[in-house]
Structure 1
Amino acid sequence: MKYIIVGLGNFGASLAMKLTENKNEVIAIDDSLEKVEFYKEKITHTIRMDATDENTVSGLPIPNTDIVVIAIGEDQGANVMATALFKNLNAKRIISRSINVLHEKVLTAIGVDDIVRPEQESAEKWSKKLSAQNIVDSFELGVNFSIVEAKIPEKYAGQSIREMHLRRKFNILVLTVIEAGNKKESESFQLNEKIKGIADPDRVVNKNDVLVLFGANNDLKVFLKQELK
């Protein structure tokens, strides 16, 4: 896919590099020559450009771009102006970064396709990880459901997924199992990234494995909280 990333701050640069690593074509623009030079070997294309200048922005291959991400963070005015400009130039899909509630309302009025809130989303994820110590990672699906990676409670080690009865007891599903190492660095759990495919009910889990669970947030909380007692 083809992307235009506007703004090479921490969020924009990280996103552009990840998309490039995943074999996408990325044009990243910023008005800082220093940033453009720094990332030129890490992103498909980097261009020094004022994203609020219609004459220069109109020269970008917008019709051939799948998604435009307005990643400008600190300057809300520039963010809104760039978003409106790409909207006016008929970008296929625009995702814009929101700073606060009022900013989000303005972006919605402009007609962006989606809004990203990196600080808020990161805070929510860390809040969930810190409040339940056996969560390795989580991904919210809408308001009420999540997928979480959770360490194996000790009492389940050596049991099969079928024997755990997590669907009957807690109404949650085991999607897959990740084989994890037993290392700790700065108290953070380290994964070996050995994902075992769709969960086999007869698979026996080990104490260092990680379960990938799906369920309603309330059901997941009940399971995680009772396992911490």
Structure 2
Amino acid sequence: MKKEFVVIGLGRFGGSIVRELVKQGANVMAIDTDSERIDEFAQIATQAVVADTTEESVIKSLGIWNFEHVIVAIGENIQASILTTLILKELGVPQITVKAQNDYHEKVLRKIGADYVVHPERDMGIRIANNMMSNSVLDYLELSGEHSIVEIKASEKIAGHSLIELDIRAKYGVNIVGITRGDEIMVSPAATDRIEVGDILLVIGADVDIDRFVQKVI
């Protein structure tokens, strides 16, 4: 059975989500107040509808509350984003992901019950900056305001040592939760596993601890 999603707001962020979800084989209802955008996605999404989701009657008429996951990707209209999220929450939608414009917007969204809040522009900026600052950092994902998960290429400094020998958690406060070696992926590696040059380490922890780990070890 195909997974089903609703994406509300078809700007650059929402539009890219629709395209990727459809590419992954999901059924997607795409919604926007702009008829031109709906025309653009009519041949992409499973269903494309012109609608104002700040009206509870509209959400009910479209059956949006029956979907398991709704993504609110409304652009600059913060009020519409908040009202839509509030209605979805009150109607019992199991999972609601919302695009936030700023930190204040995020605070309000979390207070009214949004399950996931994303800052696409900010997060991408942070990711690019971190990648540029270190040749060893391959990818970066912010988990919260102070914690992240990063992919780091292992250097000769730690190659040949086991995780228990390096004692990374005690010394730096971060955890290696996965190691990629060629086509092999080790999830929750054992303490006796030895690191090789070129291994990709999946490291999780507080940003300050990750930075210290990269500077001192990698």
TM-score (norm. length: structure 1)? 0.73
State the partner residue of 2:213.
223
1:120 to 1:209, Cα distance in 2 relative to 1, 3 A: same
Change (3 A) 1:103 1:140: closer
Separation in 2 of the partners of 1:103 and 1:198?
36
Match of 2:148 in 1: 146
**Gap runs ≥5 in structure 2:** none
1:156 is matched with which residue?
Answer: 158
The range that moved more, 203-212 or 156-165, is: 156-165
Q: Tell me the secondary structure at the aligned position of residue 131 of structure 2.
A: helix
Q: 1:60 to 1:149 in 2, by over 3 A?
A: same
Q: Are residues 1:214 and 2:216 paired?
A: no
Post-superposition CA distance 1:19-67 (Å, at most 9, x none): 3444543211123444334434543332233434555443211231123
Size of the aligned set, in residue pairs, is: 215
Contact 1:62 1:89 (C-alpha < 8 Å) held by counterparts: no
- Aligned partner of 2:99 among 82, 97, 100: 97
Distance 1:155 1:94, change over 3 A: closer
2:211 maps to a residue whose letter is K
Matches within 5 A, 1:1-229: 1-52=3-54, 56-86=58-88, 91-104=93-106, 107=109, 111-114=112-115, 115-179=117-181, 194-227=184-217
Query: In structure 1, how many angstroms separate the alpha carbons of the residues matched to 2:176 and 2:50?
Result: 47
Alignment TM-score, normalising by the size of structure 2: 0.76
Structure with bigger strand share is 1
CA distance in 2, matches of 1:31, 1:39: 13
Structure 1 unaligned segments of length 5 or more: list them.
181-192
Contact 1:70 1:79 in 2 (8 A): yes
> Percent of aligned pairs with the same residue?
29
Aligned to 1:189: none
* Structure 1 residues 79-109: Cα deviation after superposition (integer angstroms, max 9, x where no partner): 3454455456554554332213454465466
